């Protein structure tokens, strides 16, 4: 995954996990950390709307565009925090990643593109013990009836 996608995925999964009242504090802390860093360094990037609906493609698209505009993918501190969020979610709330349609475990990729995933129930995309040595493009995945449940 490219750095911007890693950051966005961390924000989305962190927000989704944070919606669950029983999620462990380590996940909440990691998400609060990345959110705070973004607010401090990139005040024009608003991640608050993701918390209202982490599955919203429109909301993810706005945050993605904003992250690209400020070149957040070049920020090594932000990338490290994003990886910490993903690791916390992987260890303590793996269902949050699945709820938003993507669950990637041990990725060592040269290239992977995951786009246009709609999950009504179940898992949209799950890549486990990964070692991708070339281009993989996953798109147009629909699970269930293709409508998101609210």
pLDDT (tens digit per residue) in 2-15: 888 889 989 998 88
Q: Structural domain tally of the chain?
A: 2
Closest CA relative to residue 124, chosen from 102, 140, 145:
102
Same domain, 81 and 108: no
Same domain, 68 and 114: no
Whether this model's pTM surpasses 0.85: no
Same domain, 69 and 133: no
Give the pLDDT confidence score for residue 120 in this predicted structure.
Answer: 41
Each residue of 88-124: pLDDT tens digit?
888 887 666 555 555 565 556 666 666 655 544 455 5
Counting every residue written for the chain, the total comes to 150
Q: List the structure tokens of 103.
A: 């669950």
Determine if residue 15 is left, alpha or beta; phi over 0 gives left, psi from -120 to 50 gives alpha, anything else beta.
alpha
Give the pLDDT confidence score for residue 1 in this predicted structure.
Answer: 67
Same domain, 89 and 118: no
Each residue of 11-29: pLDDT tens digit?
998 888 877 777 788 889 9
Q: Provide the domain limits for residue 125.
A: 101-150
Same domain, 8 and 34: yes
- Position 80 pLDDT exceeds 70: yes
DSSP SS3 for 120: coil
Same domain, 86 and 123: no
């Amino acid at each position: 995954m490219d750095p911007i996608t890693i950051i966005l995925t961390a924000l989305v999964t962190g927000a989704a996990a944070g919606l669950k009242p029983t999620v462990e504090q380590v996940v909440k802390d990691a998400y609060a950390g990345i959110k705070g860093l973004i607010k401090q360094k990139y005040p024009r990037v608003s991640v608050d709307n993701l918390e209202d609906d982490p599955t919203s493609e429109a909301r993810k698209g706005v945050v993605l565009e904003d992250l690209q505009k400020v070149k957040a993918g070049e920020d090594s501190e932000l990338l490290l925090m994003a990886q910490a969020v993903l690791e916390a979610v992987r260890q303590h709330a793996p269902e949050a990643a699945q709820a938003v349609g993507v669950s990637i475990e041990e990725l060592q990729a040269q290239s992977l593109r995951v786009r246009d995933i709609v999950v009504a129930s179940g898992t949209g995309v799950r890549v486990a013990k990964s070692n991708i040595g070339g281009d993989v493009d996953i798109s147009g995945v629909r699970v269930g009836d293709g409508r998101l449940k609210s």
